[in-house]
Chain A
Amino acid sequence: MVLCATLLLIAIVIFGAIPNSPVRKLVKPINAVVSPIQKLIKNGGDALDDFFASIKDGIAIREENKELRSEIAELQYVITQNEEARIRYEELKDAFHIKDSFSTYDIYGASILSRDADEWFSIIRVDIGQKDGLSVEDGSSLAVVDVQMNLLGRVIETEADSSKILPLTHEGFTVIGKVNEVNGAIVTVVGDSNLKNQGLCLVTGIDENTVPEVGTEIVTSGDGGLFPQGVPIGVIESVDTTNPLKITATLRPYTQIGSVKDLFIMVPLVTDEGETEVTSVETVEGDANG
């Protein structure tokens, strides 16, 4: 009987993986009940944490305040200088038609609701969803960055008031990156089942003539259309050249997923013709999202 029940449940799991299956619809009311309770407990925990932090910080702030007063005077001078530079930059920007890096994206701020329950239940849930205008169709996705605009992952599923994010260290994550220099070498950054516990990613597709050195910065290449070009991913931590035909490297992402509380979801702007201003957001075959 246990075996039959287990097999039946496995069949439901597989059936549930099919897009738009009724199993996914069954989850929605459960989510509607559990999510508010989970938010309440999280907010309670955060409030408690904030209370103790405020006492500790208050003492530190008093000391810091003394030092900062003297710095203010010095910085006033720097501000005047920077204001001058800003005006110059705006003039040059207009003159050379420089575009802001992410001007073709709407940026949605979100807070993390829940994280991994164990090494296999490792999704990140955030507090914005379809009600806020986020929508992920089958085969598409949205880029997610942290507050320093470093790559964190991508949206894999949206619900009414929450969204689920695949972190970049997960073995299901792939992004096309490039060495952050002019005509930098193209590489593929993937999550790895072994490295994810150390918070690292694997770098593959390295050409033997352009092997990156330790410390080299990797950014998104923009190929594939999902991620905008130039989003920082991380730095090369080690390179394995033992097999010249399959050179790999490990990458330490800039974002530390365990300590991130807030993040940003990048939604491509839609033009009047209904097309995204950036290239198509559809993921390419094999989930290789550039």
Chain B
Amino acid sequence: MVNSSLIRKILIYFVYTMIIVCFQVSFPEVLTFNHQVADLMFVYVCLVGYFFGIKDGLIIGAVVGICRDVLATPILVGLDGKANTFYGIGLIVLLLISFFSANFFTKQTKRKFTFAMVDVIVMTVLYKSVGNIFVWLYNVLIVGNQYTVTLSQVLLDSITTQFIINFICAVPIYLLLRFVGPYKGGINPVLLNRTEFGGDDTWLTI
């Protein structure tokens, strides 16, 4: 007999993943503020990893990452000076984010709404900082292009704007995952029964 909670989990993950991925690439103008697009996929992966553990996080991170690569493929200027599409960058980014989110002080503290928001902010700042450093290194050192973005623009326009809009988007996504999410009561029973960290049965509190 097929486990009904498993079907529910797969179905809800599938629907949420498709809606979030497709909405972001189809209507980015709705989610744009100060030239930055709210990264629903990123926030979704962060929250799944943080609340539902590393297994769910990595699976959702991989699926969303692949969809991101297919639907919004990143373009980089290659060593030959020609612009080229690079598949797999979204996959790496979201797998790493899900891994880090699933381990974001989850052994030291209970998985709370407040910490989930801190997780989204920290991961956004980490992603944007590492991303900008990578793009700078790639342009200046490898391709030999001029990279004209200044540090203040990175800090204000890229990082600050992004974490503010990601933070705002994190609230409705959290509510969806918590109250109409893949698990009844918004709690992953695998984490509920975990005892190696002194019991985790009251972890999900707002």
Q: A: which residues have CB within 8 A of B?
A: 2, 5-6, 9-10, 12-13, 16-17, 23-24, 27, 30-31, 34-35, 37-38, 41-42, 45, 113-123, 125, 139, 156-157, 164, 166, 170-173, 192-195, 197-198, 258-259, 283, 285-287
Contact = CB atoms under 8 A, between A and B. Distances in A.
Given A9-B88, A164-B73, A258-B29, A170 B147 contact: no
Interface of B: 18-19, 21-29, 32, 35-37, 39, 41-42, 66-78, 81-92, 95-96, 99, 131, 135, 139, 145, 147-150, 153, 157-158, 162
B152 to A, nearest CB: 11
Given A2-B99, A197-B35, A285 B81 contact: yes
Nearest to A159: B70
22 contacts: A2-B96, A13-B88, A17-B86, A23-B87, A31-B70, A34-B18, A41-B23, A115-B26, A115-B72, A116-B25, A116-B28, A117-B28, A117-B41, A117-B68, A120-B74, A123-B75, A125-B71, A156-B84, A164-B85, A171-B145, A193-B139, A194-B150
Contacts of A156: 75, 83-85
A88 B78 CA distance: 52
B88 A23 contact: yes
Contacts of B162: 118
A117 B86 contact: no
B18 A41 contact: yes
Contacts of B78: 17
Contact of B25 (A6, A10, A117, A287): A117
Nearest to A285: B81
A287 B77 contact: yes
A37 B42 CA distance: 20
Contact of A118 (B22, B39, B92): B39
